[in-house]
Amino acid sequence: MKVVYTNEALALSLSNIQGDLGFVPTMGALHDGHISLIEKSRSENKFTICSIFVNQKQFNNAEDFEKYPKTIDTDLAKLELAKCDMVFVPTNEQIYPANFKAPYYELGNIENVLEGYYRPGHFQGVCIVVNRLLDLIKPNKLYLGRKDFQQCIVIQKMLALQKLEATIELCIVRTKRDQFGLALSSRNLRLSEAAKRKSLILINSLQHAKDALNRDENTDLTKIQNDSINEIKKAGFESVDYFDFINEDFEVIKDNNESKRIIAILTAATIDAVRLIDNIEI
């Protein structure tokens, strides 16, 4: 596995690559969810590259940025074991040189709801760094995990805005969970074992809500939402930012009589001062 740290070394190393190139962008603190993306890319491409870069532009909370786990030695060992071909570990100056001007992406309402509402500017920061990495790496396929479902849809829109859909295929890989069902996340490193067990209420509540919809498509969404939030709080969560139903246009659905069908349920909640997200497809 080759590790490169500069844009020049990256360009030189990639110039000799033949065949399809798969790319997995990460912020480090790697877990089996990230490794599943590497494995998926390796199964579908001749060459796989992973990036490790903690992007400050997508953190609207400075404390959250400072607390983000940084485990570069462990990360590289995991990627070596997973047989990743190359890792790009740039500094902030490599990604954002002095002459860099951050573009603005016309994302529409998707950056104002759910994660966008609670983390203003977050999705602009995500688009800026992913677009920059894509420009440097120029992959054939981009791999993202479905746990960050809203982010996946945002990146899909960014690819369309930048007219990259024809050259880069977005591959959304199913959420990787632990043996009990908890969605794997770098933030889980900050949870106690007790909090991890309590956090199973997230996927359980999402599954119960999905089951209720499957039993009766006209069921009261507000009741499901309120009951779910109450159950999450009873399990020990300090707060619940949202537990919402969204349609194919990523609009929040409040009434089952609306014409557009529900495609997913998403939630975000905080336990042990750690904010977790999860979702389930309908």
The answer to whether residues 25 and 139 belong to one domain is: yes
Shared domain for 47 and 123, answered yes or no, is: yes
- Find out whether 209 and 248 touch, Cβ atoms under 8 Å: no
180 domain residue, yes or no:
no
Are residues 57 and 168 located together in one domain of the fold? Answer: yes
Residue 217: the pLDDT is 77
Domain co-membership, 204 together with 169: no
Give a yes or no: residue 105 inside a domain: yes
List, in order, residues 6 or more apart from 254 with CB less than 8 Å away: 221, 222, 245
What confidence score (pLDDT) does residue 263 get? 94
| CATH number of the domain where residue 253 is located | 3.30.1300.10
Q: Which of the following is catalytic: 31, 34, 122, 208?
A: 34
The predicted pLDDT at position 218 comes to 81
Distance of CA 40 to the CA centre of its chain: 16
Domain housing 146: 2-173
How far apart, in whole angstroms, are the C-alpha atoms of residue 209 and residue 190? 28
Kindly list the averaged pLDDT for each block of 10 residues, start to end, along the chain of length 282: 98 94 97 97 98 94 85 97 98 96 95 96 97 98 98 98 96 96 93 96 98 89 96 98 96 83 96 96 94
Residue 36 within a domain: yes
Q: Work out how many domains the chain is built from and give that number.
A: 2
Helices (H), the chain: 7-14, 32-44, 62-67, 72-81, 92-95, 115-118, 122-137, 149-161, 193-198, 201-215, 221-234
Edge to edge, the sheet with strand 239-247 lists: 252-253, 239-247, 262-271, 274-281
Q: Is 160 found in the same domain as 34?
A: yes
- Residue 69, pLDDT score: 86
The per-residue pLDDT for 204 is 98
For residue 260, give the nearest of 247, 279, 250 by alpha carbon: 247
Judge whether 34 counts as a catalytic residue.
Answer: yes
- Does residue 179 sit within a domain? no
H or E segment and range at residue 244: strand 239-247
Residues 54, 70: Cα–Cα separation, whole Å: 8
Q: What one-letter code names the amino acid at 27? A: M
